[in-house]
Amino acid sequence: NQIKIFSPATVANVACGFDVLGFCLNEIGDEMCIKKTYKKGIFIVKIEGFDLPIEAELNVAGVSALAMYKTLDLDYGFEIEIYKNIKPGSGIGSSAASAVGSVFGINELLDRPFNKTQLVEFAIKGEALASKCEHADNLAPAIFGGFTLVKSMSPLEILQIPVPKNLYATIIHPQIEIKTAEARAILPNQVNLQDAIEQWSNFGSLIHGLHTSDYQLIKRSLHDSIVEPHRSKLIPNYNDVKTAAIKAGALGTGISGSGPSIFSLCEGLESANNVKDAIKNIYSKTGIKFDIYVSKIN
Ligand code: HSE
């Protein structure tokens, strides 16, 4: 009647896949404990780690759980304890981890009445509370693992993309907060045709590179002609980090979700650690506190 779950952090966009592509970071995430209770409804009973609303209707995990709960006719409810490790506004899917954790855990306690895509549907409601818009590029990899592509939002269709065996991510999380809603507000409503052509050529090539484990093609495809020029200004020393990471051997570097976290994809653990050292070296000089992680993608 009770379950403990781990809800992973995720990297959305992955350079050229704005709002559709994402991957899962297996080693970083939140924990939740979910229990059945005699009282009907969804109750957040404890939040540790960060100061977030405890009322279910105002809490991302609560809203997604309520979206699921309302479709069921149960004579009992659920209590949720949230142990947050992922800082809100970090760009590694903090709200998505909350939104996914509650629905995943409740689904397990109910013996899985819903499939993974349906869980993402419920979680979209929670995610929308945080980012003021419905997107599933963090939610899908948190539920499915690996790389996912949100083919369509309505009806929701998610594709799992194969992950090359030796692919690692290095993530730096500078301790400043960027709100997704604000990072979306600075984006233009229209894009230049030449930029769009470049973007979909890179995006298609990246997906092909992931399918064929072609690291050199992945490297040549990890570019963002549309979003990065606007958002990189919000992240201190972004260009220095990118230059250092590429020089140290990263296949590519980009903004993780809406930032401020920055991801690099690397072939092999050794390369990922070299990139980590190079980035550490740059960021230690800024005086801004940061966390830095290496995670295998699978
Ligand atoms: N695709 C979203 C964005 C992800 O970049 O705004 C936010 O985490």
Q: What value does the mean pLDDT of the chain take?
A: 96
| CA gap 24, 195 in Å, rounded | 27
Tell whether omega for the bond before 53 is within 30 degrees of 0, i.e. cis.
no
Burial 274-292 (b: 16+ CB within 10 A, else e): bbbebbeebbeeeeeebeb
126 alpha carbon – ligand 1 mean position (Å): 14
Annotated catalytic residue 127: yes
**Cβ–Cβ under 8 Å, residues 91 and 260:** yes
Percent of the residues in the chain that have a pLDDT greater than 90, as a whole number: 95
Q: Is the pLDDT of residue 134 over 90?
A: no
| CA gap 218, 11 in Å, rounded | 16
How do residues 190-210 score in pLDDT, each as one tens digit?
Answer: 999 999 999 999 999 999 999
**Token pair recorded at residue 183:** 């990072």
Closest CA to 205 of 189, 184, 192, 220: 220
Q: Which of 23, 127, 138, 180 to mutate to test the pocket of ligand 1 (most atoms within 8 A of CB)?
A: 180
Q: What is the ipTM of this complex?
A: 0.98
Annotated catalytic residue 198: no
10, 148, 170, 180: which one is catalytic?
180
| CA gap 97, 127 in Å, rounded | 9
Cβ of 135 closer than 6 Å to ligand 1, yes or no, is yes
How do residues 209-241 score in pLDDT, each as one tens digit?
Answer: 999 999 999 999 999 999 999 999 999 999 999
The reported pLDDT for the residue numbered 180 is 87
pTM of the predicted structure, to 2 decimals: 0.96
Cβ of 19 closer than 6 Å to ligand 1, yes or no, is yes
* Paired strand residues for 19: none
Residue 16 DSSP symbol:
T
56 alpha carbon – ligand 1 mean position (Å): 23
